[in-house]
Amino acid sequence: MQKLRQLSGLIDSLNDKLGIVIRWLALLMVLTGAISALVRYFARSQQWTLNLTPATEAQWYFFSVIFLMGAAYGLNHDVHVRVDVMYERLSAKARAVIDMAGTILFLIPFSVLMLYVSFPAVRVSWQIREMSPDPGGLPRYPIKALILVSFGLLLLQAFSQLVKQVDVLLENVSEPGHSDNASEVQP
């Protein structure tokens, strides 16, 4: 079980590092939109014609990366959407059972299905080096590949969550991601 905990920690660490990148991409996305708007209004006042398609598509791509790559980060930090009627009132073990059931019955099959369904489209996109149909548009194939990466990361994080839930059920920790062992507590 110790090896599984170490692997879980590595997966969590990977998704945390991606979370840092996502934060910076959010700032870059906002700056891209703001600068594009300013340039567009300045160009109109000067009666210039500019092609801002690459900036607009870059903003969409930044949003796509944030959304796709943020799923595993959100799962790791338990900030995903949850309908909480009684969940918070349950014991840690009961929550672990519910989370395990949801992960095994819904998250893992959905992620595998999305990988299966998306792979052919991503493969074709890479084979033809798919481009945006808009003049001056960006390549589409790299952003489509992130669909596979994001669901792969989500599957890894699902595994990590399962390891943490098993720890709760075996009474090694009271909550997933929180160690109860005094030897593991850092001063």
Compute how many other C-beta atoms are within 10 angstroms of the C-beta atom of residue 28.
15
For 109, how many CA atoms within 13 A lie in the half-sphere containing its CB? 6
Tell me the mean pLDDT per 10 residues along the chain, length 187.
91 94 95 92 83 89 94 90 80 92 96 97 96 91 95 96 93 59 39
- Which residues, in sequence order, are CB contacts of 1 under 8 Å at separation 6+? 166, 167, 170, 172
DSSP 162-187: HHHHHHHHTTS-SBTTB---GGG---
Provide the 8-state DSSP code for 131: B
Q: Alpha helix (H) ranges present in the chain? A: 2-45, 53-76, 92-102, 108-127, 141-169
pLDDT of residue 182: 38
Cα atoms in the Cβ-side hemisphere of radius 13 Å centred on 44: 6
d(CA 33, CA 59): 6
pTM confidence score: 0.82
Token pair 């990988």 in the structure block, residue: 115
Among residues 154, 151, 107, the alpha carbon closest in space to that of 99 is found at 107
Structure tokens at 30: 């906002």
Q: Which amino acid is at 184?
A: E
